[in-house]
Amino acid sequence: MIRSTLAITAGKLARGVSRLRGGGSALPGLVTERIDPGILGHTLADLPGGIVVVTGTNGKTTTTKMLVALLRAHGQRVFTNPTGSNFTRGVISAMLAEIPLSGRLDADWAVLELDEAHALHFAAAVAPTHALLLNVARDQLDRFAEIDQTAELLARLAAQATTGVVLNVDDSFVSRIHSRVAEGVTVAWFGVDPTCADRLPELQEADVREADGAAALPDSAEAALLLLQDEHTFTVTGSGADVGPVTLRQRGLAAMINATAATATARAVLGDDFEPGVAATALATVTPPFGRGEVIDIDGHPLELVLVKNPAGFTVALGTYGTEPVATMIAINDNYADGRDVSWLYDVSFESLQGHGVALTSGVRGWDMALRLRYDGVEVAHTEPDLDLALEQFLREHAGEPTRIFCTYTAMMQLRRRLAARYNLARFGEDSP
């Protein structure tokens, strides 16, 4: 107890200093964890509801935010890590903002976004009651190597969930994990209604081993299925009353699937207390998280900040936004959090940008991005590797018109901080609902 108190005190001091210096969100957690390696177990194990871990390659931050909104709309007190810092130290950093020195969180549930590898570090400290597994795609090749290795990480997490697991029936890497769930643990499913399954290739990695343990949806399964009304509106069907029609504030098919996953999980944890009408209202009010389709007002004109970090994610983003005639900047970094190997850019088709070209490429790999675009016949007006200079040039040259920036994670963080300072935006962790 004394050790935990000392750790929390030191972490809070580090958090205060870090915020004054405009530093990152993980350092205070690292300080706390070094002093008390068992801090996660001490603070989270006794929550009366449980611990929900959200993981997978794409959609973690958005889905986590939606799930938190659903549970809070049902009157639950929820602790979460809203900054997108999804290592264990990021969870601890988020906790430092809410926890008193006594180490007792005022929450019913913890809903935590965790990186695919760090989810296992977390589970070693405190077992999750529920796990939501979204998808598996090639990502950060230097860290995760073969895609099967990522799938194995998710399977090992699912095996440690104590109460329930929610799986993506349309992702064969994820659906075959149902055989790894512990006896007595409930399996729920989310996916796309068969009437709109032709859209799935936009989002998924090809897996030629469909018959190798991938699950077909059991007739009696608890399933939440996405039924598209049009490009902006959908209903989540299944398991009793439907949820919707819902129109999200975030655009695109991927966001609708994230909402379906969050709905399936809310149903799983709330049981008979889940109310479809409350859920529909809650989903419709969720704003895009930082940098994930977030729209920033630049002197009366919209700037969309779109995170891209792997072939599937960039392809989905281009499918949602790419054909619109908007001034476009692409910023590619290759720092550790982005993945050092950016060869994945050659698995993305940029032909949708041929019509209006790209105004500017930037980031550590700004020149690589310009070369990649040239191979697809996309004209690039300028390349400026320095992100701050590039942002200033982009905004200056396209003042008074809609703009869009596709960016990797660390590039997004730097650009977002710059924009926050210039346009008085909310800081990380102070996100709107």
Active site members: 341
Query: Closest by alpha carbon to 405, among 252, 381, 395?
Result: 395
In 3D space, the residue among 105, 141, 121, 99 whose CA is nearest the CA of residue 55 turns out to be 121
State the Cα–Cα distance between residues 109 and 124, nearest whole angstrom: 19
Q: In sequence order, which residues have a C-beta less than 8 Å from that of residue 152 and are 6 or more positions away?
A: none
Q: For residue 282, give every residue at least 6 positions away whose Cβ sits within 8 Å of its Cβ, in sequence order, or none.
A: 69, 70, 72, 73
Helix (H) or strand (E) holding 358: strand 358-362
Instruction: Please state the separation of Cα 102 from the chain's center in Å.
Output: 31
Residue that is written with structure tokens 């969050």 in the block: 262
From residue 188, give the alpha-carbon distance in Å to each of 153, 223, 260.
Answer: 19, 6, 12
Contact 269, 109 (CB under 8 A): yes
Bridge partners for 235 per DSSP = 227
Q: What angle, 0 to 180 degrees and rounded to 10, lies between the N-to-C axes of helices 118-125 and 147-160?
A: 20
Contact criterion met (CB below 8 Å) for 43 and 101: no
Q: How far apart are CA 42 and CA 31, in angstroms?
A: 16
Going by C-alpha positions, the residue among 93, 88, 83 that lies closest to residue 60 is 83
Residue type, 413: M
| Count of beta carbons in the 10 Å neighbourhood of residue 78 | 19
Amino acid present at 51: I
Q: Which of 34, 14, 13 is nearest to 23 (CA)?
A: 14
CA distance 320 to 183: 41
Q: Residue 106 is which amino acid?
A: D
Q: What is the DSSP string of 333-362?
A: --STTT-S--GGGGGS--GGGTTT-EEEEE
**8 A C-beta contact, residue 141 and residue 339:** yes
Per the structure block, which two tokens stand in for 139? 């990502």
Q: Are 138 and 205 in contact (CB under 8 A)?
A: yes
